Structures are given as structure tokens and as C-alpha cells.
Amino acid sequence: MFCFEFGDFKHMAKSQMPVYRGIYSHKEKDQYEIGDVVTYSGSLYIKQQAGDDRPKLASTTWRLCTKKPRDGADGKSIKGDRGERGPKGEPGRDAWRGE
């Protein structure tokens, strides 16, 4: 909600701009308003109309904005060349002797 004031003139207007509300919480399902954007199961949804259902692909209340991407490769199958050995480090202090 925006409030514009200019002298004696005061006007209240509801924003049409999406507002990110974080990760969807079913406990706060009644708090979400049209235009609110949430993250749910790794995807981004915007609330399109009144209702209290959870965001999902077949929802009439929520519209999918960005779908969760597939998980990528773990990188274990790709091996690069071994790097050069680094310089020798300084010896540590001997905690046993209290030095």
C-alpha cells in the first residue's frame, strides 16, 4: 500500500508491483495477497487470485514464474590435471612443551 501526500492532498493506492515474501509457509497462507511472490519447492510463484491452496503447477491461485532447474552433475566424473605442489609451510609450535 502506498500513500501519496502533497500539501492537503492525500491519496492511498495499492501496489500492482510484485512483492517477494520469501519461502512459502502454510501457517501464513491467509497472509498472502494477490501480487505476492514466494519460493516453494525450489520454484518461484506469484499469487494471481484469492484462495488458500499451496503453490503448485496446476494451481488456479498461484502462477509459476520460474521452475526449479534440474540438479546438475556432481563434478566427480570430470577430473582435471593435478596442480603443482605448494611451498613447504613453516613448522607449527609444539603445544605439548608449551612453546
Closest CA to 39 of 25, 52, 60, 50: 25
Number of Cβ within 10 Å of residue 36's Cβ equals 17
Q: What average pLDDT score do residues 73-88 get?
A: 79
Res 75: pLDDT: 62
Give per-residue pLDDT as tens, 5-32. 778 888 776 667 888 999 999 887 778 8
* 18-66 has CATH 2.10.10 classification: yes
Beta-carbon contacts of 61 under 8 Å, excluding residues fewer than 6 positions away, are 47, 48, 49, 50, 51, 52, 53, 55
Give per-residue pLDDT as tens, 27-76. 877 788 888 999 999 999 999 988 888 888 778 899 999 888 887 766 66
Domain ranges of the chain: 18-66
